[in-house]
Chain A
Amino acid sequence: MTSTRARRIDDLAASGAAAPDVGVSLVASAWRRLRRDPVFIVGVLIIVAFLVIAVLAPLLAPHDPAARLLADQVIRARNEIPPPQPGYPLGGDMNGRDLFSRMLLGSRETLLVAVLATVIGLGGGLVLGTVAGALGGWADSLVMRIVDVLLSIPSLLLAVSIGALFAQQSQFTVILAVAIVQIPIFARLLRGSMLAQRASDHVLAATALGVKRRAIVFRHMLPNSLGPVIVQSTLGLAIAIIDAAALSFLGLGAPDDSIPEWGQMLGNAQDVIDTHPNLAFWPAGAIIVVALGFTLVGESLRDALDPKNRR
């Protein structure tokens, strides 16, 4: 019983398992390919720039992103917001806060949302996938039934549904909604990867040598699943950023916007998109570029790790 979506995840899982053992040769050959791959290089450059900005944002930002410094220039009656001016290169938002500082600091929160969502998704998937893959039998059946049910719901629909189920929306519920969607993906991925390895020579050899099951799982099986997990995580980061923005767009984002986040900024700007398009275009552009960066790296990693590409 494998749904179509599940099958695609299994493909990825199998790609990592094809390595003989903690794959020096796999990593080496993948790296050889990636070094010359323009897609990968562009992606990495984008991600590095994003990380640098996110880390240094408090130093780079000229103003407090929550301070209504230009509030006197906001006139609702005439729909005026502060234009770009010395010290405020992008002008102010609807509440008179410095847009440039909000963009810079927004990168942190966006990164946080993406990373936390992916880490929680990975963590949950790791537990479920390891239990299923390592134990097999009824534990495997039970876990995979749950996973398949979750996989049977379209991802954004699931995220939106989960987001709508909280009494009060916050940044945390956004993260949780996006993360829960990723759990079954990682679970299936890890389980598939481990199943493929259980039958592989090096695991059979280790078992024959009397190595304990736990040691086999943690020393051999998990490390070998790393490749596919890295690929899925990178793609997951991109999806998390876009899904979080979609939740904000639907009014399921965090209501308090004193700490800026790009998806939320874009969602909040939808009401003024035709009168003040800049309020929407800056966060939208940033989201697109960063999501593109993670997608580029993820896709090139997937290609590089795919054993059939190593000819």
Chain B
Amino acid sequence: MIRFRTTRRERTEVPRTRSRARTVVALAAAATVAVALPACAQSQRGNEGGAAQSGGTLTFGAAGAPDLFDPFYANDGETFRVSRQIFEGLVGFKPGGSTITPELATDWSSTPDGKTWTFNLRTGVKFQDGTDFNGDAVCANFDRWYNQTGAAQNPALSFYWHDNFGGFADHKEPSLFDSCQAQSPTKAVVKLTRATGKFPSVLAEASFAMQSPTAMKKYDANNIVAAGDSFTYPAYAQSHPTGTGPFVFDGYDKGNGTITLKRNENYWGPKAKLDKLIFRIIPDEKARLQALQAGDIDGYDLPNPADWQTLQQNFNLEIREPFNILYLGFTQKNNPALQDLRVRQALAYAIDRKTLVSSTMPEHAEVAREFYPPSVEGYSPDVQDYPYDPQKARDLLKQANASNLTVNFYWPTEVTRPYMPDPRSIFGAIQANLQAVGVKVNPISKPWNGGYLDDVDNAKADLFLLGWTGDYNSPDNFIGTFFGSLNNRFWLQAAPWGQQLGDALRAADGQPDQATRVAMYQDINRKLMSQYLPGVPIAHAPAAIVVTKKVKGLVPSPITAEEFAPVSISNS
């Protein structure tokens, strides 16, 4: 072992060495390398310019890397934002709304029992690989979804299928889907095992977009492998997504964090105005704001409400209609006092939701009266209200012999959602309200993905903050998801009405007649707010999207399903 002596106490001079010669050799070597390399590195730049290149490029700031480009396996907004430009479904969302409109199907009808659906398909549509879109392609997609096997069946991948259609062809779990038959190139018939209110709206979800059967086969689209702690995706999902949409996937430059889409020149409808649509990944919210201000990007999604006012001065800030819900949930498992309706009502009266919304929520946020926003089917105009009334809260607590109630109140860190822009402030406000009526609050904060969701889902909390952004206009997507099972975060199996509520939700969803269905949901909502009260709805909060003033034609969508095809940019 060499003993290096410490430097600071060196007393003698360092002898000179042949370092100059060494330097020369090193420089010569470096120069050789520099000269030799260009020979093997060719510029691969495409030929820019040309007649078609007139619509310009729009760069949009994304908050993270998409999971993958095959929307069927995705459950994250970053993937869907990209995939919505490449793919289309049989039905689509009306621009700026949450109701459906024809897309690849021009019209559809069902038998009276709501189990057989016939879709008439648009003609002359081609996938981006040049193959035809027709009845066979539609059924190839349905069959692909239904016949997933192995790792791909995991809800981490086929989440939306699980959530809406249930099981797969192996019949381990009942499935909503029965069969698909292509009666002609322009007609596909889908059979369901039961009626449901969410069909065909559910087909507008990005996950159920039509993908090219040829491309999926060529690039092995179903080849999902569980590898250690995660999954690896096939070439199709990584770099060959092929749909019918107005944009074509061009490339994902991982070194630079950019995803590039090009205009689909063979699109069946009005062609995209932009030549190129680039998504640049900027994970930090503040950094996205500054990139916009400096002109590095042309827009980004979900700006922090604290910045809305600043942004409105120089940019087009589009505020979406609220399509979400923030609620305070009660877990009835560990704290018997919460099984008493009077206690739950007391907590509802104790919270000053009006001040909470104005001091912690963005502009246009509303106090929620039910568990989903008014624009969704079955919203009831006359439910029991819980105005801020601390005295009544104290009285109810006394009646229930719960005057010295102590609750474990879970609140999340490391997360912001449109319905929950600042969890810390929201928690603080509710905590102060509860303490004011004599409830002892034991605050427990955990990182969203680092224990919070785990604990809440496993019914470890007493009180918790949670919310939901709707996927499409269906009450089942909200309250069906929240209260449909007994063994959930509310622990409804402890409630005498838990089973009854679940049954009512299933009955309403299976009702094919719309008017009857609406009445059923209204009834559920009334009971939810008066007799059940499994939680307190807090707020519906709007989310915004911001673009520069050069960008025209962006229609904000309540379900964040913005389309970039009609968007144009003036490069002045």
Q: Residues on A close to B: CB < 8 A?
A: 1-2, 7, 10-11, 14, 68, 71-72, 74-79, 94-96, 167-169, 251, 255-257, 270-275, 308
Contact = CB atoms under 8 A, between A and B. Distances in A.
A10 B6 contact: yes
B359 interface: yes
B405 interface: no
Contacts of A257: 424
A74 B443 CA distance: 23
Interface in B358-380: 358-365
Given A14-B9, A168-B445, A77 B307 contact: no
Interface in B322-377: 355, 358-365
B414 A251 contact: yes
A271 B304 contact: yes
Contact of B359 (A1, A76, A270): A76
Nearest to A73: B359
B451 interface: yes
Contact of A1 (B1, B304, B362, B414): B1
B308 A271 contact: no
A167 B443 contact: no
B285 interface: yes
B305 interface: yes
A76 B421 contact: yes
A57 B167 CA distance: 63
19 contacts: A11-B8, A11-B9, A68-B428, A71-B355, A72-B359, A77-B308, A77-B362, A78-B363, A79-B306, A79-B307, A79-B308, A79-B310, A94-B425, A168-B446, A168-B450, A168-B451, A271-B306, A274-B310, A308-B9
Contacts of A275: 306-307, 310
B306 A255 contact: no
Contact of A273 (B286, B305, B308): B286
B568 to A, nearest CB: 29
A71 B308 CA distance: 20
A77 B424 contact: no
Nearest to B451: A167
Contact of B425 (A72, A75, A95): A95
Interface-central residue, B361, B364, B414, B428, by most chain A CB under 10 Å = B428
A77 B358 contact: yes
Contacts of B361: 76-77
A7 B7 contact: yes
Given A76-B422, A270-B286, 8 more contacts: A76-B363, A79-B308, A168-B447, A168-B450, A255-B413, A272-B306, A274-B290, A275-B310
The interface size bin for chain B is: 35 or more
A106 B4 CA distance: 45
B435 to A, nearest CB: 12
B9 A76 contact: no
B54 interface: no
A2 B4 contact: yes
B309 interface: yes
Interface in B59-86: none
Per CB-CB distance, the 8 closest pairs between chain A and chain B, nearest first, are A77-B363, A255-B413, A255-B445, A79-B309, A79-B306, A11-B8, A11-B6, A74-B359
Nearest to B452: A168
B436 interface: no
Interface string B282-299: 000110011000000000
B28 interface: no
Nearest to B285: A271
A256 B445 contact: yes
Listed residue (B306, B421, B447) with the most chain A CB atoms within 10 angstroms of its CB: B306
Given A1-B1, A75-B358, A255 B424 contact: yes
Q: Which of A2, A72, A74, A77 has the most CB of B within 10 A?
A: A77
B220 to A, nearest CB: 36
B432 interface: yes
A6 to B, nearest CB: 10
User: Of residues A76, A256, A271, which shows the largest number of chain B Cβ atoms within 10 Å of its Cβ?
Assistant: A76
Contacts of B1: 1
B413 to A, nearest CB: 4
Instruction: Tell me what chain A mostly uses at the interface: helix, strand, loop, or mixed.
Output: loop
A150 B13 CA distance: 34
A219 B531 CA distance: 76
B306 A76 contact: yes
Contacts of B451: 167-168
Nearest to A18: B9
Contact of B443 (A96, A256, A273): A256
Which of B310, B364, B414, B447 gathers most chain A CB within 10 Å? B447
Given A167-B450, A255-B413, A255-B445, A77 B305 contact: yes
A71 B285 contact: no
Interface in B413-432: 413-414, 421-422, 424-425, 428-429, 432
A307 B355 CA distance: 66
Contacts of B429: 71
Contacts of A1: 1
A9 B297 CA distance: 47
Contacts of A270: 286
Interface in B4-42: 4, 6-9
B362 A76 contact: yes
Contacts of A10: 6
A72 to B, nearest CB: 8
A160 B28 CA distance: 42
B293 to A, nearest CB: 8
B307 A11 contact: no
Contacts of A168: 445-447, 450-451
A257 B422 CA distance: 13
A146 B125 CA distance: 67
Nearest to B412: A255
B178 to A, nearest CB: 45
A94 B421 CA distance: 13
A78 B306 CA distance: 7
A169 B447 contact: yes
A77 B355 CA distance: 12
A14 B306 contact: no
| Most chain B beta-carbon neighbours within 10 Å: one of A72, A257, A271 | A271
A271 B425 CA distance: 14
A7 B361 CA distance: 54
A29 B286 CA distance: 52
A68 B414 CA distance: 22
Contact of A68 (B285, B307, B432, B450): B432
A307 to B, nearest CB: 9
B72 to A, nearest CB: 32
A251 B451 CA distance: 16
Contacts of A68: 428, 432
Interface string B378-401: 000000000000000000000000
Contacts of A273: 286
B6 A78 contact: no
Contact of B428 (A95, A167, A274): A95
A11 B7 contact: yes
Contact of A7 (B4, B289, B305, B309): B4
B482 to A, nearest CB: 26
Contacts of B362: 76-77
Nearest to A257: B424
Nearest to B290: A274
Interface string B168-181: 00000000000000
A78 B446 contact: no
Contact of B360 (A7, A14, A76): A76
A273 B307 CA distance: 11
